[in-house]
Homo-oligomer: A and B are copies of this chain.
Amino acid sequence: MAMAEELSKDAAVEELRVILGGRLSTSSAVREQHGHDESYHANHPPDAVAFANSTEEVAQIVKVCAGHKRPVVPFGTGTSLEGHVAALRGGICIDMTPMNQVIEVNAEDLDCRVQAGVTRKQLNEYLRGTGLFFPIDPGADASLGGMAATRASGTNAVRYGTMRENVMGLTVVLADGRVIRTGGRSRKSAAGYDLTRLFVGSEGTLGVITEVQLRLYGIPEAISSAVCSFSDLQGAVNTVITTIQSGIPIARIEILDEVQMDAINRYSKLNNPVLPALFFEFHGSESGVREQVEMVGGIAGEFGGDDFRWAREQEDRNQLWQARHDAYYAALALRPGSKGWATDVCVPISRLAECLLATKSDIEDSGLLAPIVGHAGDGNFHLCFIIDPDDPDEMRRAEALNERMVMRALDMGGTCTGEHGIGSGKIKFLHAEHGEAVGVMRQLKIALDPDNLMNPGKVVEV
């Protein structure tokens, strides 16, 4: 690095130190910790980490970075999966975790406003006793700002939608330090361009999300969860497809192959059959849930499912879903010292069986360890390569398999990622999926971030 750049770099850090004092860190431990997410992607530490307390402070930090042309990388819980938080071009990481206040809960309107660092579990804990909950649940206990930024979803999306449907509005700090509020508290609006949904899923590349207005839901009168095993994966997938095509308003319908079930049994100390399985949850009135259970039970039976194993008490249900949420960590534990490369695609429901079974067959041919787990009701599934990133042969096989799976999903009218996002890991597939529209994404990026300082190297290359 040239001397002039070195000086300019120091100058930015010194300016930030005046603003933040001890809440600016350049220690290598803190920088390393903020240079990677939960995936196999290489660590790219930022030059410094700023712990922000408020929207105003984020705006100040961004303005300093703009003045010195230094990249800005927002950081929540670091649980993303496509290299989203790696500081590929150095710069300042803004750690949002100190912004962990629930700002308001409007129980009678079923909405709330939180600072970006509040996590999904923290919010639901806060809501305890109100009769309300927030349904979106990626595996990790992610921050709601990060979940908005990556358009996260999870097991409840089949009934409640993703962050796209559940973020009502945002506070965003733009690349030049301006602060805007998007959206609002009304259930619908036809007032101007939908900036909320432009920033949801923009992965920090258009601005830093500092506050999120969210929809909430009443806790259903009745909730029932169950696990059902199948002698083959095909039976499980067909049960999902028929359930969705029948319009049954199921709350959760998750698929796990026998490799993932084995991993979960070991990790969460359970003793399910080592067979493909569906995890169900039904929400509604008492009679509504009974009706759904009867219909889905009938469908599962037709496709070779065994009896439902019920989790009737809240505690049992929590255990069941925690085991499901820990699927990634359970898979990693199958091979100590390995890294996870979790990839996901999403296809129209009619193509799910074909896509999933062809992928399963590819995995078997590859000799790789890669459990399958999915939010099958949305046509979305994941596979998680349990790999040694230092083994070039393993990595090559995983890359080839991933590419085959993605291109297959695109051929079927699907998407290269249902919920993990693009980050740096899937940029090459974005053009395959969206063609000329990527040019428009690039125009928007340049319009809002002409110096390419907001999380550069993610989503679109400029």
Contact yes or no, A434 B181, CB < 8 A: yes
Docked complex Cα distance between A379 and B247 (Å)? 27
Partner of A414, one of B186, B437, B443: B186
Within 8 A of B (CB), among A39-81: none
Q: Is the CB of B111 within 8 A of A440?
A: no
* A190 beta carbon closer than 8 Å to chain B: yes
Chain B: minimal CB distance from A407 (Å): 14
Q: Is A225 an interface residue (CB 8 A)?
A: no
Chain B proximity of A103: nearest CB distance (Å) = 13
Please tell me if A273 contacts chain B, counting CB pairs below 8 Å. no
Within residues 237 to 273 of chain A, which ones have a CB less than 8 A from any CB in chain B? 245-247
- Identify which of residues 175-211 in chain A touch chain B, using a CB-to-CB cut-off of 8 Å: 178-182, 184-195, 197-198, 200-202, 206
A346 nearest in chain B by CB position: B186
Q: Beyond A191-B415, A421-B190, is A443–B447 a contact (Cβ under 8 Å)?
A: yes
Is the CB of A361 closer than 8 A to any CB of chain B? no
Assess whether A150 is in contact with B448, with CB atoms less than 8 Å apart.
no
Chain A count of residues within 8 A CB distance of the other chain: 86
Q: Given A350-B108, A435-B181, are A379 and B186 neighbors across the interface (CB < 8 Å)?
A: yes
Residues of B within 8 A of A188 (CB): 153, 157, 162, 164, 346, 378, 380, 415, 418-419
B448 pairs with A440, CB closer than 8 A = yes
Q: Does A141 sit at the interface, judged by CB under 8 A?
A: no
A193 touches B189 (CB 8 A): no
Complex: how many Å from CA A152 to CA B190? 7
In the complex, chain B residues whose CB is within 8 Å of the CB of A184: 413-415, 433
Q: Which of A106, A184, A433, A439 has the most CB of B within 10 A?
A: A184
Give A438 to B182 CA distance when docked, in angstroms: 9
Q: Does B348 lie within 8 Å of A109, measured CB to CB?
A: yes
With A187-B349, A191-B426 known as contacts, the answer to whether A444 contacts B447 (CB < 8 A) is: yes
Give complex CA distance A246, B219 in Å: 11
Contact A444 B441 (CB under 8 A): no
Per-residue interface assignment for chain A, residues 148 to 184, with 1 indicating a CB less than 8 Å from any chain B CB and 0 otherwise: 0011110001000110110000000010001111101
Contacts A108-B349, A180-B435, A181-B437 given; indicate if A191 touches B287 (C-beta within 8 A): no
Residues of A within 8 A of B (CB): 106, 108-111, 150-153, 157, 161-162, 164-165, 174, 178-182, 184-195, 197-198, 200-202, 206, 217-218, 220, 245-247, 285, 287-288, 291, 346-350, 378-380, 409, 413-422, 426, 429-430, 433-441, 443-444, 446-448, 459-460
Known: A186-B346, A193-B459. 13 other contacts (CB 8 A): A161-B165, A174-B440, A185-B414, A189-B417, A190-B415, A190-B418, A190-B420, A191-B415, A192-B433, A195-B437, A197-B197, A288-B288, A443-B448
